[in-house]
Amino acid sequence: MRTTQYLLSTLKETPASAEVISHQLMLRAGLVRNVASGLYTWLPTGLKVLRKVENIVREEMERAGAIEVLMPMVQPADLWEESGRLNDYGPELLRINDRHDRAFVLGPTHEEVITKLVANEINSYKQLPLNVFQIQTKFRDEIRPRFGVMRGREFLMKDAYSFHLGEACLQKTYQIMFDAYCRIFDRLGLDYRPVIADTGSIGGQASHEFHVLADSGEDDIAFSDASDFAANVEKAEAIAPLGERAEPTQQISTVELKLERLIKTSNIDLKNTVKTLLVLGASAAGEPEKFIALVLRGDHQLNEVKVENLSGIASPLTFATDEQISAIANCHITSLGPKGLSVDVIVDRSAAHLNDFVCGANVNGQSYTGVNWQRDCDEINIQDIRNVVEGDPSPCGSGNIVIKRGIEVGHIFQLGEKYAQAMNCGVLTENGKNQTLTMGCYGIGVSRIVAAAIEQNHDAYGIKWPAAIAPFQVAIVPMNMAKSARVKETAEALYAQLQQAGIEVIFDDRKERPGVMFADHELIGTPILLIVGERNLDEQNVEVKNRISGEKSLMAISDIMSLFS
């Protein structure tokens, strides 16, 4: 490709609208342009990267035995009615009516369409297992699209769905897909981790997320410093402290200070205090509201997902209002404490291990010190309800927790029978009985990977693409070609030679100053720059610059092809 016949569209300035580095660089390097909130046009350079990611994903899906299909983006709403998600999905599901006022949705995912298809096409156990995938445009009406294609509204996804007779068969395909995902991210050249994940609203049993590690990631991931263990912080278990709880050593006493103030004035360790929250309990229709107290160590954070998964808790998780707290404990939330509280109490494992601790006294502005669970409180229910923190023992039993940030680029689920049951998707078994299928589903954010790769691979000058997804393998940058026939001839000859060998080469034939050309190619992140200059041509050399290492060296023109072998 000659630059003069290409749409380079690099920008010198960083657009003010772009908050994260990948979005800034994608705009500056001419990869995408914004069309409307969360909607982007992929420019030629960006599209080359996108297609390379897509091809690697496709190859590994095929290697894993998945078969490619293509489902429509516009889906009839009645399929979503059938699965029960039309109401559940919320406003991210864009609902539309056609000219005949029939209801449709813009597909954010395709469980319904594929389950319906399989229900119609597959009749016998002999046709199973079946694993189908597509690489297709999806739409999710994000309330606040941001970070460019990282959290856009229209985006490219690979979604795969597998169908099985029974759990064992699903487990086998799940493992095959897990391995395929690892191969994909290995081939993409990204530093990633598969992590144990919460299944979220898609439902189902086991689930792994694949994260590209980057400081700018939106998710916290808990690792063991001594094993392969990795889990989304939302899902990582906080295990109970070792040892038995000690006997009381102090008398309980009342202090005329709010807990917060007490900690400041009395040099109390936050780790020896507890905080108390009130949430709505689950109750049947018509029954009076019921509240439940949640108690955590003062230095720990509530994990709402863990609480929601407990029985007896209202879903979605709902915190008591100030008025409700007053009615129950006759005090403000900051003075709540577990002693003498007239509701059921759930205590986090770490808080439950405390002895002689400090807490609110359920009287405004008063605290207790020297509290002990067995001596001073009613019976408590001990659960894991907090986020893990760095230094916690790893739940795998080996090492301690380290927390890093990640960008979720893949997610695999064991869905179970949720969709197959709702949509009547079953087959005749060997015994002639009808059995509902068990499903898995497997997503990869193809366009998101492009942004994540940049978050992980950039420097002050621009993008440093992993070789497998660089838009061009090499750039030819001639110095003052207009003034030197020899430079022009050499550059043209090199270009012809590289093109003929099938190398993806960009030839910068613009009449620009060398500085401008270098800046553009460093920004775009082409791995190798071949600099053709008059002063090296006497020895028939060109300068080779490695974008990743920054190294420069002279190389004989006749040896250039060895760079690509």
- Residues of the shown chain interacting with a second copy in the complex, contacts defined by CB under 8 A: 4-7, 9, 33, 35-37, 39-44, 47, 50, 65, 67-76, 91-92, 94, 96, 98-99, 102, 104, 106, 113, 116-117, 120-121, 126-127, 130, 132, 137, 139, 141, 143, 153-154
Going by C-alpha positions, the residue among 241, 267, 223, 204 that lies closest to residue 443 is 204
> In 361-485, which ranges are E strands?
367-371, 381-383, 401-416, 426-428, 434-436, 438-445, 458-459, 462-463, 474-478
Extract the runs of DSSP E, i.e. beta strands, from 272-343: 274-280, 291-297
- Of 12 and 535, which CB lies nearer to a second copy in the complex structure? 12
| Gap between the Cα atoms of 108 and 104, Å rounded | 12
CB nearer to a second copy: pick between 72 and 200: 72
The smaller minimum CB distance to a second copy, of residues 145 and 462, is found at: 145
Q: What's the closest the beta carbon of residue 26 comes to a second copy, in angstroms?
A: 14
70/285 with CB nearer a second copy: 70
List the one residue out of 453, 554, 563, 442 whose CA is nearest residue 504: 563
**What minimum distance in Å lies between the beta carbon of 131 and a second copy?**
9
**Least distance in angstroms from the C-beta of 130 to a second copy:** 7
Among candidates 460, 443, 442, 463, which has minimal Cα distance to 452? Answer: 463
* Residue carrying the six token digits 């102090």: 250
> Considering the complex, what minimum distance in angstroms separates the CB of residue 57 from a second copy?
15
Interatomic CA distance for residues 389 and 372, integer angstroms:
24
Q: Which of 125, 194, 87, 129 is nearest to 444 (CA)?
A: 194
Smallest gap from Cβ 141 to a second copy, in A, equals 5
Q: How far is the CB of 132 from a second copy (least distance, A)?
A: 7
Of 111 and 384, nearer to a second copy (C-beta) is 111
For a second copy, the closer CB: 156 or 292: 156
As measured in angstroms, the least distance from the Cβ of 457 to a second copy is 22
Among 487, 484, 500, 503, which Cα is nearest to 564's? Answer: 503
Cβ contact 7:436 at 8 Å: no
Cα(295)–Cα(285) distance, integer angstroms? 27
Nearer Cβ to a second copy (68/256):
68
CB of 410 to a second copy, least distance (A): 21
Give 46 or 217: the residue with its C-beta nearer to a second copy.
46
Using DSSP, state whether 62 is helix, strand or coil: helix
C-alpha 89/C-alpha 32 separation (Å) is: 29
